Homo-oligomer: A and B are copies of this chain.
Amino acid sequence: MPRLDFWYEFASTYSYPAAIRIGTLAQARGVDVRWRPFLLGPIFADQGWRNSPFNIYPAKGRYMWRDLERICADRGLPFRRPDSFPQNSLLAARVATALAGEARADFSRAVYRAEFAEGRSIDDRALIERLLADLGLPAEALQRASSDAVKTAVKASVDEAKRLGIFGAPSFVAADNELFWGDDRLEVALEWAVARA
């Protein structure tokens, strides 16, 4: 079965529309998606950025918010810009890492909806607890999220992302390590996965 790794960062704006649509698009093409939460912070830091490039470069930032708004409107996706950006995504990344399979995908979509459809703060432990409960997932995932095993797994994901040449999110990586960056490359990435399977 063709496979595509979906690399996402919970603070990343364009990861929101990608997370919402990747399941349906992949299923229609018979592609198995592996959800790979990671952190862009350490990768940006390697480039000398201590903030989001959308904040460092205001013209780029203004454009991104407008572009995201248009994309969401086109796709009938609710959108609400959170008060603060970028958000601290460490807790959400750890909880997603503590989950697996469909539970991870469901939780990840719920985090993006809370953040970019409702404008909520995803570093709020109570919010994360509620999202897990709403999905019928064990609250215990939150405890496991702070375990050494999960912390190590998140660090390993960041290292793997660097090795794959990932520099932004969302990114898509096919089984042959071919890299695609950006929500607008999702269709091409899926085609690549199917053609090379």
Q: Quick check: is A184 within 8 A (CB to CB) of the other chain?
A: yes
Residues facing B in A156-197 (CB within 8 A) are: 165-168, 179-182, 184-185, 188
Shortest A114–chain B CB gap in Å is 27
Residue from B57, B63, B184, B188 in contact with A179 in the complex, judged by beta carbons closer than 8 Å: B63
Q: A47-B57, A57-B47, A184-B184 are in contact. Are A165 and B63 (CB under 8 A)?
A: yes
Cβ–Cβ < 8 Å partners of A180 in chain B? 67
A130 interfacial contact with B, CB 8 Å: no
Chain B residues, CB < 8 A from A155: none
The answer to whether the Cβ of A50 comes within 8 Å of any Cβ in the partner chain is no
Measured between beta carbons, the chain B residues less than 8 angstroms from A29 are: none
Q: With a CB–CB cut-off of 8 A, which chain B residues contact A21?
A: none
A180 to B67, CA, bound (A): 8
Q: What is the minimal beta-carbon distance from A187 to any residue of chain B, in angstroms?
A: 11
Q: How large is the interface on A (under 10, 10 to 19, 20 to 34, 35 or more residues)?
A: 20 to 34
Known A47-B57, A57-B47; contact A62-B188, beta-carbon cutoff 8 A: no
Chain B residues in 8 Å Cβ range of A57: 47, 167
**Closest-CB distance, A99 to chain B (whole angstroms):** 28
Residues of B within 8 A of A184 (CB): 182, 184-185
Query: Do the beta carbons of A167 and B63 come within 8 Å of each other?
Result: yes
Shortest CB–CB separation between residue A91 and chain B, in angstroms?
A: 27
Interface presence of A60 (CB below 8 A)? yes
- Chain B nearest CB: distance from A46 CB in Å? 9
Beyond A67-B185, A184-B185, 16 additional contacts (C-beta under 8 Å) are A47-B57, A57-B167, A59-B166, A59-B167, A60-B167, A60-B168, A63-B165, A63-B167, A63-B179, A63-B181, A66-B179, A67-B180, A70-B188, A74-B188, A182-B184, A184-B184
Shortest Cβ-Cβ A-B pairs, 5 listed: A59-B167, A184-B184, A60-B167, A59-B165, A47-B57
